Structure 1
Protein backbone atom coordinates (compact mmCIF):
# COMPACT_ATOMS: atom_id res chain seq x y z
CA UNK A 1 0.00 0.00 0.00
CA UNK A 2 1.23 3.46 -0.89
CA UNK A 3 1.79 6.05 1.81
CA UNK A 4 -0.09 9.36 1.52
CA UNK A 5 1.46 11.86 -0.88
CA UNK A 6 2.38 14.20 2.01
CA UNK A 7 4.44 11.42 3.60
CA UNK A 8 6.14 10.65 0.30
CA UNK A 9 7.08 14.32 -0.16
CA UNK A 10 8.43 14.51 3.41
CA UNK A 11 10.51 11.38 2.85
CA UNK A 12 12.01 12.74 -0.38
CA UNK A 13 12.85 16.02 1.37
CA UNK A 14 14.84 14.09 3.99
CA UNK A 15 16.79 11.97 1.49
CA UNK A 16 19.72 13.91 0.04
CA UNK A 17 21.67 11.14 -1.71
CA UNK A 18 20.56 10.64 -5.34
CA UNK A 19 21.06 6.87 -5.20
CA UNK A 20 18.93 6.62 -2.06
CA UNK A 21 16.23 8.79 -3.66
CA UNK A 22 16.18 6.42 -6.62
CA UNK A 23 15.97 3.43 -4.29
CA UNK A 24 13.03 5.02 -2.46
CA UNK A 25 11.32 5.63 -5.81
CA UNK A 26 11.77 1.95 -6.67
CA UNK A 27 10.36 0.97 -3.26
CA UNK A 28 7.27 3.08 -3.97
CA UNK A 29 6.84 1.19 -7.23
CA UNK A 30 7.05 -2.10 -5.37
CA UNK A 31 4.34 -0.85 -2.97
CA UNK A 32 1.86 -0.32 -5.81
CA UNK A 33 -1.21 -2.50 -5.44
CA UNK A 34 -1.31 -5.10 -8.21
CA UNK A 35 -3.02 -3.98 -11.41
CA UNK A 36 -5.33 -6.69 -12.72
CA UNK A 37 -4.27 -8.05 -16.12
CA UNK A 38 -7.77 -7.23 -17.38
CA UNK A 39 -6.96 -3.51 -16.99
CA UNK A 40 -3.71 -3.71 -18.96
CA UNK A 41 -5.46 -2.90 -22.19
CA UNK A 42 -4.51 -0.72 -25.12
CA UNK A 43 -7.14 1.80 -23.97
CA UNK A 44 -5.32 2.14 -20.62
CA UNK A 45 -1.84 2.25 -22.12
CA UNK A 46 -0.06 5.57 -21.67
CA UNK A 47 1.61 6.61 -24.89
CA UNK A 48 4.73 8.73 -24.76
CA UNK A 49 6.53 6.62 -22.17
CA UNK A 50 9.74 4.79 -23.02
CA UNK A 51 8.56 1.82 -20.95
CA UNK A 52 5.17 0.21 -21.10
CA UNK A 53 2.77 2.00 -18.73
CA UNK A 54 -0.90 1.40 -18.04
CA UNK A 55 -3.15 3.64 -15.95
CA UNK A 56 -6.83 2.98 -15.33
CA UNK A 57 -8.90 5.86 -14.00
CA UNK A 58 -12.33 5.24 -12.49
CA UNK A 59 -14.69 7.04 -10.13
CA UNK A 60 -16.08 5.70 -6.89
CA UNK A 61 -18.98 7.35 -5.10
CA UNK A 62 -18.20 8.04 -1.44
CA UNK A 63 -19.87 9.96 1.35
CA UNK A 64 -17.70 12.90 0.32
CA UNK A 65 -18.76 12.69 -3.32
CA UNK A 66 -17.03 11.09 -6.30
CA UNK A 67 -13.36 10.15 -5.86
CA UNK A 68 -10.77 8.90 -8.33
CA UNK A 69 -9.69 5.29 -8.07
CA UNK A 70 -6.50 4.64 -10.00
CA UNK A 71 -4.63 1.48 -10.93
CA UNK A 72 -1.28 1.56 -12.64
CA UNK A 73 1.65 -0.56 -13.70
CA UNK A 74 4.89 -0.36 -15.64
CA UNK A 75 7.34 -2.99 -16.78
CA UNK A 76 10.23 -0.82 -15.52
CA UNK A 77 11.03 -0.62 -11.80
CA UNK A 78 11.95 3.07 -11.94
CA UNK A 79 8.97 4.06 -14.06
CA UNK A 80 6.71 2.01 -11.77
CA UNK A 81 7.92 4.34 -9.00
CA UNK A 82 6.80 7.34 -11.04
CA UNK A 83 3.44 5.62 -11.60
CA UNK A 84 3.20 5.23 -7.81
CA UNK A 85 3.87 8.96 -7.36
CA UNK A 86 1.09 9.84 -9.80
CA UNK A 87 -1.36 7.43 -8.15
CA UNK A 88 -0.52 8.77 -4.68
CA UNK A 89 -0.94 12.34 -5.91
CA UNK A 90 -4.24 11.92 -7.77
CA UNK A 91 -5.89 8.92 -6.10
CA UNK A 92 -8.78 9.74 -3.78
CA UNK A 93 -9.23 13.26 -5.14
CA UNK A 94 -12.47 14.43 -6.63
CA UNK A 95 -12.32 14.54 -10.43
CA UNK A 96 -12.51 18.35 -10.26
CA UNK A 97 -9.61 18.59 -7.75
CA UNK A 98 -7.58 16.13 -9.81
CA UNK A 99 -8.20 18.18 -12.96
CA UNK A 100 -6.71 21.19 -11.15
CA UNK A 101 -3.64 19.29 -9.89
CA UNK A 102 -0.34 19.59 -11.74
CA UNK A 103 1.54 16.30 -11.66
CA UNK A 104 4.63 17.89 -13.18
CA UNK A 105 4.75 20.30 -10.27
CA UNK A 106 5.27 17.31 -7.96
CA UNK A 107 8.02 16.02 -10.27
CA UNK A 108 9.79 19.41 -10.03
CA UNK A 109 9.14 19.73 -6.27
CA UNK A 110 10.84 16.39 -5.67
CA UNK A 111 13.82 17.58 -7.75
CA UNK A 112 13.77 14.79 -10.31
CA UNK A 113 14.32 17.02 -13.34
CA UNK A 114 18.11 16.96 -13.39
CA UNK A 115 18.48 13.30 -12.37
CA UNK A 116 16.08 11.69 -14.83
CA UNK A 117 16.50 11.14 -18.54
CA UNK A 118 14.42 13.31 -20.86
CA UNK A 119 12.56 10.19 -22.03
CA UNK A 120 11.50 9.37 -18.45
CA UNK A 121 10.59 13.00 -17.88
CA UNK A 122 8.41 12.88 -20.99
CA UNK A 123 6.85 9.68 -19.65
CA UNK A 124 5.92 11.39 -16.37
CA UNK A 125 4.41 14.23 -18.41
CA UNK A 126 2.40 11.71 -20.43
CA UNK A 127 1.12 10.04 -17.23
CA UNK A 128 0.12 13.37 -15.67
CA UNK A 129 -1.56 14.47 -18.92
CA UNK A 130 -3.45 11.20 -19.16
CA UNK A 131 -4.79 11.39 -15.60
CA UNK A 132 -5.64 15.07 -16.08
CA UNK A 133 -7.64 14.34 -19.27
CA UNK A 134 -9.46 11.48 -17.52
CA UNK A 135 -10.24 13.71 -14.51
CA UNK A 136 -11.59 16.49 -16.74
CA UNK A 137 -13.78 13.96 -18.57
CA UNK A 138 -15.04 12.45 -15.31
CA UNK A 139 -15.69 15.88 -13.74
CA UNK A 140 -18.00 16.87 -16.62
Structure 2
Protein backbone atom coordinates (compact mmCIF):
# COMPACT_ATOMS: atom_id res chain seq x y z
CA UNK A 1 0.00 0.00 0.00
CA UNK A 2 3.06 2.24 -0.02
CA UNK A 3 3.39 5.29 -2.22
CA UNK A 4 5.42 5.12 -5.44
CA UNK A 5 8.10 7.38 -3.92
CA UNK A 6 8.43 5.02 -0.98
CA UNK A 7 8.70 2.01 -3.31
CA UNK A 8 11.55 3.80 -5.08
CA UNK A 9 13.22 4.31 -1.71
CA UNK A 10 12.87 0.59 -0.95
CA UNK A 11 14.57 -0.18 -4.28
CA UNK A 12 17.38 2.27 -3.50
CA UNK A 13 17.92 0.63 -0.12
CA UNK A 14 18.13 -2.79 -1.79
CA UNK A 15 21.05 -1.53 -3.88
CA UNK A 16 22.93 -0.03 -0.93
CA UNK A 17 25.25 -2.70 0.41
CA UNK A 18 25.48 -1.89 4.07
CA UNK A 19 23.68 -0.01 6.77
CA UNK A 20 26.23 2.85 6.82
CA UNK A 21 25.38 3.61 3.18
CA UNK A 22 21.67 3.49 4.00
CA UNK A 23 22.20 5.72 7.05
CA UNK A 24 24.06 8.26 4.87
CA UNK A 25 21.24 8.10 2.33
CA UNK A 26 18.65 8.90 5.03
CA UNK A 27 20.80 11.83 6.20
CA UNK A 28 21.10 13.07 2.61
CA UNK A 29 17.31 12.87 2.27
CA UNK A 30 17.06 15.05 5.38
CA UNK A 31 19.50 17.58 3.96
CA UNK A 32 17.44 17.77 0.76
CA UNK A 33 14.09 18.05 2.59
CA UNK A 34 12.82 21.66 2.57
CA UNK A 35 13.31 23.46 5.90
CA UNK A 36 10.30 24.31 8.02
CA UNK A 37 9.62 28.01 8.45
CA UNK A 38 10.60 29.08 11.97
CA UNK A 39 7.11 30.56 12.45
CA UNK A 40 5.72 26.99 12.23
CA UNK A 41 8.00 25.66 14.98
CA UNK A 42 5.43 26.14 17.70
CA UNK A 43 4.13 23.90 20.51
CA UNK A 44 1.15 22.83 18.36
CA UNK A 45 3.46 21.32 15.71
CA UNK A 46 6.07 19.88 18.09
CA UNK A 47 6.06 16.11 18.35
CA UNK A 48 6.24 14.82 21.91
CA UNK A 49 8.10 11.59 22.55
CA UNK A 50 11.17 12.37 20.46
CA UNK A 51 14.64 12.70 21.98
CA UNK A 52 15.45 15.50 19.54
CA UNK A 53 13.37 18.53 18.62
CA UNK A 54 10.79 17.54 15.96
CA UNK A 55 8.05 19.57 14.33
CA UNK A 56 5.46 18.31 11.86
CA UNK A 57 3.16 20.84 10.21
CA UNK A 58 0.33 19.12 8.29
CA UNK A 59 -1.11 20.43 5.05
CA UNK A 60 -4.50 19.07 4.05
CA UNK A 61 -5.79 19.82 0.55
CA UNK A 62 -9.53 19.44 0.18
CA UNK A 63 -12.11 18.30 2.70
CA UNK A 64 -13.48 15.03 4.02
CA UNK A 65 -12.05 11.55 3.42
CA UNK A 66 -10.87 12.40 -0.11
CA UNK A 67 -8.70 15.30 1.08
CA UNK A 68 -5.00 14.80 0.41
CA UNK A 69 -2.55 14.60 3.28
CA UNK A 70 0.83 16.28 3.14
CA UNK A 71 3.17 17.79 5.67
CA UNK A 72 6.30 19.78 6.27
CA UNK A 73 8.68 18.88 9.04
CA UNK A 74 12.01 19.51 10.62
CA UNK A 75 14.31 18.32 13.36
CA UNK A 76 17.51 19.55 14.95
CA UNK A 77 19.03 16.07 14.38
CA UNK A 78 20.08 15.22 10.82
CA UNK A 79 19.11 11.54 11.00
CA UNK A 80 15.67 12.48 12.35
CA UNK A 81 15.27 15.07 9.60
CA UNK A 82 15.98 12.20 7.20
CA UNK A 83 13.38 10.04 8.90
CA UNK A 84 10.86 12.85 8.41
CA UNK A 85 11.72 12.76 4.68
CA UNK A 86 11.22 8.97 4.68
CA UNK A 87 7.80 9.41 6.31
CA UNK A 88 6.97 12.05 3.71
CA UNK A 89 7.70 9.52 0.97
CA UNK A 90 5.41 7.07 2.77
CA UNK A 91 2.46 9.38 3.51
CA UNK A 92 2.71 12.52 1.38
CA UNK A 93 -0.18 12.83 -1.06
CA UNK A 94 -2.33 10.01 0.31
CA UNK A 95 -6.04 10.60 0.85
CA UNK A 96 -6.51 11.32 4.57
CA UNK A 97 -8.84 8.33 4.86
CA UNK A 98 -6.01 5.99 3.74
CA UNK A 99 -3.27 7.28 6.04
CA UNK A 100 -4.45 5.21 9.00
CA UNK A 101 -4.46 2.03 6.91
CA UNK A 102 -0.72 2.25 6.20
CA UNK A 103 1.21 -0.13 8.43
CA UNK A 104 4.12 2.24 8.88
CA UNK A 105 6.18 -0.09 11.04
CA UNK A 106 5.92 -2.90 8.48
CA UNK A 107 6.73 -0.54 5.62
CA UNK A 108 9.71 0.94 7.46
CA UNK A 109 10.89 -2.58 8.31
CA UNK A 110 11.30 -3.10 4.57
CA UNK A 111 14.09 -0.52 4.80
CA UNK A 112 15.71 -2.26 7.76
CA UNK A 113 15.18 0.80 9.92
CA UNK A 114 13.65 -1.22 12.73
CA UNK A 115 16.91 -3.13 13.15
CA UNK A 116 19.32 -0.20 13.08
CA UNK A 117 17.76 2.65 15.02
CA UNK A 118 18.35 3.17 18.70
CA UNK A 119 15.37 2.62 20.98
CA UNK A 120 15.10 6.41 21.46
CA UNK A 121 15.02 6.98 17.69
CA UNK A 122 12.50 4.16 17.25
CA UNK A 123 10.26 5.70 19.91
CA UNK A 124 10.55 9.08 18.21
CA UNK A 125 9.70 7.56 14.85
CA UNK A 126 6.60 5.94 16.34
CA UNK A 127 5.63 9.30 17.87
CA UNK A 128 5.91 10.97 14.44
CA UNK A 129 3.77 8.22 12.85
CA UNK A 130 1.20 8.60 15.64
CA UNK A 131 1.02 12.38 15.04
CA UNK A 132 0.61 11.92 11.29
CA UNK A 133 -2.18 9.37 11.79
CA UNK A 134 -3.99 11.59 14.32
CA UNK A 135 -3.93 14.63 12.05
CA UNK A 136 -5.12 12.63 9.04
CA UNK A 137 -7.92 11.01 11.08
CA UNK A 138 -9.13 14.44 12.26
CA UNK A 139 -9.10 15.73 8.68
CA UNK A 140 -11.00 12.68 7.44
CA UNK A 141 -13.78 13.43 9.92
Normalising by the residue count of structure 2, what TM-score does the alignment of the two structures yield?
A: 0.90
5 Å matches for 1:1-140? 4-61=5-62, 65-140=66-141
Normalising by the residue count of structure 1, what TM-score does the alignment of the two structures yield?
A: 0.91
Q: CA RMSD in A?
A: 1.6
Equivalent-residue separation in structure 1 for 2:60 and 2:89 (angstroms): 15
Q: Report the count of equivalent residues.
A: 136
> Larger relative contact order (C-alpha < 8 A, sep ≥ 6)?
2
Equivalent-residue separation in structure 2 for 1:123 and 1:76 (angstroms): 12
Q: Runs of 4 or more off by more than 2 Å in structure 1?
A: none
Equivalent-residue separation in structure 1 for 2:67 and 2:6 (angstroms): 19
- Is the CA contact (8 Å cut-off) linking 1:104 and 1:124 kept in structure 2? no
**C-alpha displacement at 1:58, in angstroms?**
2.1
**C-alpha displacement at 1:91, in angstroms?**
0.8
The secondary structure found in structure 2 opposite 1:57 is strand
Equivalent-residue separation in structure 1 for 2:119 and 2:54 (angstroms): 16
Equivalent-residue separation in structure 1 for 2:108 and 2:127 (angstroms): 12
Query: Structure 2: 5+ residue runs without aligned partners?
Result: none
**C-alpha displacement at 1:106, in angstroms?**
2.1
**C-alpha displacement at 1:69, in angstroms?**
2.0
Equivalent-residue separation in structure 2 for 1:22 and 1:100 (angstroms): 27
The secondary structure found in structure 2 opposite 1:127 is helix
